[in-house]
Amino acid sequence: MHRNRIKTKLLFLFLLALTFLSGISLNISGLKSDIKIKMESYPELERDWDNVALLYYNYYHNSTEIDEEIDRFHDLVPELIDMEVIGQSYLGKNITALKITNEQRTNQKAKALVVAQHHAREPIAAEAALRFIIYLLNNYQVDDDITEFIDNQEIYVIPTLNPDGLDRRVDQDDHWLRKNLRPWDDDGDGFFDEDTWEDVNLDGKISSFDVYEKIDSQLQYSYTYYEGIDNDGDGKINEDPIGHTDLNRNYDMFWRDGVGWEPETTSQIYPGNTAFSEPETKAFRNFALKHRFGMAFSLHSGINATYFADNPVGGWAEPYLYNSMLQDFAEILPPSFNLDLFYKSGSPSPVAATAALAGGWENWMYHERGTIAPITFEIYRNASSISPAAETIVEDNSTHRILEWTEIYGYFSPELDYIEALWVDVRPGFYYLLDNTPSLQIEIQITAGGTQAGNRIGLNFGCINWSPRISTLETINVLTSNGFIIASASAIPAASNKELSVDFLLSSDLADSGLELKIGNEFTGYTHFTILPSGTNLGLIIGLSVAGLVVVASGISIPLLLKRRR
C-alpha cells in the first residue's frame, strides 16, 4: 500500500548528466529555447528526534493533560508542529489546532483536517486524535507514504473542541453529558444547573428511564428521564440539568430546519439559541474560514459509522462518491465496521430523500466551505450495551411501560485496556484521509521561450491528481506572483491527468531574477517555479511538486515512471 519512491543511483546519475548538458539551453529534435525552468526546492529535513510516546498511557485525558501532551509534542518535534490557539471554550479553556507539516517547505500545500470530541461523553475521540499525531511524528522518515504526506500536506488536528465537557466527563465521571457547559436556567426559577441527574441508589451508575405509551396494543416512545432527586422542591426532577448546546447541532446549515434536534433546552440535542451561538463552534468557524479542506474527519463515538453530508432535502450530497468511500472503509476497517453497521445518511441512490441533519458539522463544511468529503467518523460502540437484555422493565401497566437502562458507562468509550487496540483498528481510516486529500504532480515542457519584451513564452503542464477518490474540486490555475491568472484548466477527476497549456508574450525583458509563477488551486496547494534566461546557472534542475518528483529541463520534459499504490 505504499508509493514507490525513486532512489536509484542510476537515475540520479542520469539526471545529473542531463543537468550539465542543459547548462545554457538544449537543442533536442530541433527544439531550441532561450529559457529554463527552476522549480522551487527545499532542503531535506533531517529527523533528529526519537519516537514520541504519551505521558498518560491507557488513560482518558482531561483538557489540561491534552495541553501537556501537545505542548510536549511541539517541544520534541518543533520541525513538524505548529500550534495555534483558535479560541476558548465557555469556561475559558484553550481550543488548540496543531499543524503537522515539513516547515522547511514553505509553499501553500494541500490540507487535511481531523477535529475531535464535539461531544463531552465521547473522550475516545480525543484519544484517537492524540494517537494520530504520534503516528505521524513517529513515522516521518520511517514510512515513505507518511513522510510524503507530511512533506506535501498541512495536516491539522484539533484534539478536543469541547474541553469543558471533556473535563466533566473525565474528572467527574459524567457519562451522560453530550453538550457544552454554558450555564442555563432551564426551568426559569432564577438558578442555573441546580437540578441535574444524580446517582440516587448509590450503585455507581445513573440510570435513564424510557417511557412508552401503549396505544392500540403498540408501544410508542414518549420521553426519557434520568435518575435524580427534586433538588429545588418544585415536584420535578432533572428539569435543570448541566449542559446547554449540542455543538454538533449549532452550525449554520439547516439549523433548526432538518432532523436530529429538539427545541427543549434540556434535550441532549438542543441546537442552541442561534446558529454559532457557542464560543466553541465560533472558534472552529473562524479557523475553518481560513482554510480549504478537500477531505476532513470529525471524530465521534456511539456507533461504528460514517456520516456524510446531506442534500437540502436529505440523502447524500455526493451519492456515488460516498458510496464508493463507504465500500473502501468496509475493506480497510475490521469486520465490526461492515456495511450493515455503517450508517447511510440517505441512500446511494440520488433519488432517496429524507430530511437533512440540522446544524451538523459535515453539512456546514460541505455547503459553506466546499469540502467534498467531510466525514463524521464514529469509531466506537459497545453493541452489547444496547441489547434487549441491557434494559430492565421497572413498570408495565395498562397505559405505560418504563424501561431502565444503566449501560451508558460502557457505550461511548471502551475500557482503558482497549484504547490502543481500537486505535490500531481505526488507523487505516486516517491513512485513507491523507491519501484522498487532493494533491498534484506536475510536469512542465517548454514549447517556446524568448527573453525579450514581446517574445512568446509557451509551456505545457502535465497535471496528475493523485487522490484515488476526490477531484481537484476547482480549476487548476497558473498564476503570477501577484495572483494574476494566466491560464486555467477544469478540475481534474480523481486518479486522472490533464494537460494545461500556457502561451503569453513577455511585457518586458526577462530579468536574471526571472518570472515567478505557480500552478494549482486552494485545495491542492501550489507548485512554484521560475522562468529564467537559459544562461542562468540553475544547478541541478530538480524540484518537488505538491506530490511527487518533478524534473524539468529546457526544451524537454522527462516523464518519471512513478507507480501509484493500488
Round to the nearest angstrom and report the end-to-end CA distance of the chain. Answer: 7
For residues 547 and 475, state if they share a domain.
yes
Residue 70 phi, psi dihedral angles, 5° rounding: -75, -30
Collapsing DSSP states into helix, strand and coil, what is residue 439?
coil
Q: Are residues 20 and 102 in the same domain?
A: no
Query: CB within 8 A of 13, min separation 6: which ones?
Result: none
| One domain for residues 113 and 19 | no
**Nearest Cα residue to 295 out of 160, 475, 494:** 494
Specify whether the backbone of 343 is left (phi greater than 0), alpha (psi in -120 to 50) or beta.
Answer: beta
Q: Which of the pair, 511 or 546, is modelled with greater confidence?
A: 511
pLDDT of residue 236: 83
pLDDT of 31 above 80: no
Q: In this structure, are residues 192 and 184 in contact, taking their beta carbons and an 8 Å threshold?
A: yes
Instruction: Report residue 343 as a C-alpha cell.
Output: 450508517
Phi-psi region of 483 (alpha: psi -120 to 50; beta: other; left: phi over 0): left
CA-only gyration radius of the chain, Å: 28
Confidence of residue 349 (pLDDT cuts 50, 70, 90): very low
pLDDT bucket at 42, cuts 50 / 70 / 90: confident
Is 410 a residue whose pLDDT tops 90? no
pLDDT score of 66: 98
Mean pLDDT, to the nearest integer, of 522-549? 66
| Number of domains forming the structure of the chain | 2
Task: Judge whether 448 lies within some domain.
Answer: yes
CATH number at 509 reads: 2.60.40.10
Neighbouring C-alpha atoms within 13 Å toward the C-beta of 427: 15
pLDDT of residue 516: 95
536: left (phi over 0), alpha (psi -120 to 50) or beta: beta
Last residue of a domain, one of 108, 136, 163: 163
Please indicate, yes or no, whether residues 444 and 509 belong to a single structural domain of this protein: yes
Task: Give the pLDDT mean for 338-362.
Answer: 60
Q: Please give the residue range of the domain that contains residue 91.
A: 63-163
Residue 206 belongs to a domain: no
Q: How confident is the model at residue 389 (pLDDT cuts 50, 70, 90)?
A: confident
Q: Which of 134, 163, 192 is the last residue of a domain?
A: 163
Tell me if 476 is assigned to some domain.
yes
- 28 and 84 share a domain? no
Distance CA 308, CA 235 (A): 43
Confidence of residue 295 (pLDDT cuts 50, 70, 90): very high
CB neighbours of 412 closer than 8 A, spacing ≥ 6? 121, 122, 123, 124, 175, 301, 302, 380, 381
Let me know if residue 444 belongs to a domain.
Answer: yes
Better pLDDT: 537 or 483: 483
Q: Convert the pLDDT of each residue in 258-271 to its tens digit.
A: 999 999 999 999 99
Cα 349 from Cα 316, distance rounded (Å) = 8
Number of other CB atoms surrounding residue 232 within 10 Å? 15
- What's at 358, amino acid-wise? A
User: Does residue 72 sit within a domain?
Assistant: yes
- pLDDT level of residue 394 (50, 70, 90 thresholds): very high
Cβ atoms of 141 and 147 within 8 Å: the answer is: yes
Is residue 496 assigned to a domain? Answer: yes
What is the structure's pLDDT at 32? Answer: 56
Ranking 42-51, 311-320, 335-344, 537-546 by mean pLDDT, the lowest is: 537-546
pLDDT digits (tens, 9 = 90+) for 204-234: 889 999 999 999 889 999 988 899 998 888 8
Average pLDDT over residues 51-78: 97
Same domain, 76 and 20: no
Taking residue 488's Cβ as centre, other Cβ atoms within 10 Å add up to 14
Give the model's pLDDT for residue 33: 73
Beta carbons of 31 and 536 less than 8 angstroms apart: no
pLDDT confidence band for 94 (50 / 70 / 90): very high
Contact indicator for 246, 269 with CB cutoff of 8 Å: yes
Return the CATH number at 125.
3.40.630.10
Residue 284 confidence class, pLDDT cut points 50, 70, 90 = very high
Based on the fold, state whether residues 463 and 541 are members of the same structural domain.
yes
- What grid cell was written down for 380? 466506537
> How far is Cα 17 from Cα 37, in angstroms, rounded to an integer?
17
Q: Provide the percentage of residues in the chain whose pLDDT is more than 70.
A: 86
Contact 288, 252 (CB under 8 A): no
Q: What pLDDT band is residue 370 in, cutting at 50, 70 and 90?
A: very high
Residue 504 domain-assigned? yes
Q: Are residues 25 and 70 in the same domain?
A: no
On whether both 23 and 94 belong to a single domain, the answer is: no
CA dihedral 253, 256, 261, 263 (to 10 degrees): 150
- Could you give the CA distance from residue 17 to residue 128 in angstroms, rounded to a whole number? 48
Looking at the fold, whether 113 and 157 belong to one and the same domain comes out as: yes
Res 421 pLDDT > 60:
yes
Last residue of a domain, one of 113, 129, 163: 163
pTM: 0.89
Give the chain's mean pLDDT.
Answer: 86
Average pLDDT (354-373) is 94
Cα–Cα distance measured from residue 54 to residue 66, given in angstroms and rounded to the nearest whole number: 10
The answer to whether the beta carbons of residues 249 and 272 sit under 8 Å apart is yes
Alpha carbon distance 562, 549 (integer Å): 9
Q: Distance (Å, rounded) from C-alpha 386 to C-alpha 347?
A: 25
In terms of domains, do 102 and 14 share one? Answer: no
Q: Scanning the structure block, which residue is given the C-alpha cell 479560541?
A: 87
Cell match 441491557: residue?
Answer: 390
Closest CA to 294 of 154, 139, 461: 154
> What pLDDT sits at residue 144?
96
Q: What span, in angstroms and rounded, lies between the C-alpha atoms of 79 and 100?
A: 9
Quick one: 487 and 540 in the same domain? Answer: yes
Per-residue pLDDT at 384: 80
Give counts: helices (H), strands (E), the chain. 9, 24
Give tens-digit pLDDT for 273-282.
Answer: 999 999 999 9
Cell of 30: 530541433
- pLDDT for residue 315: 85
Q: pLDDT tens digits, residue range 463-502?
A: 999 999 999 999 999 999 899 999 999 999 999 999 999 9
- Whole-angstrom Cα distance, residue 266 to residue 239? 7
In a domain, 205, yes or no: no
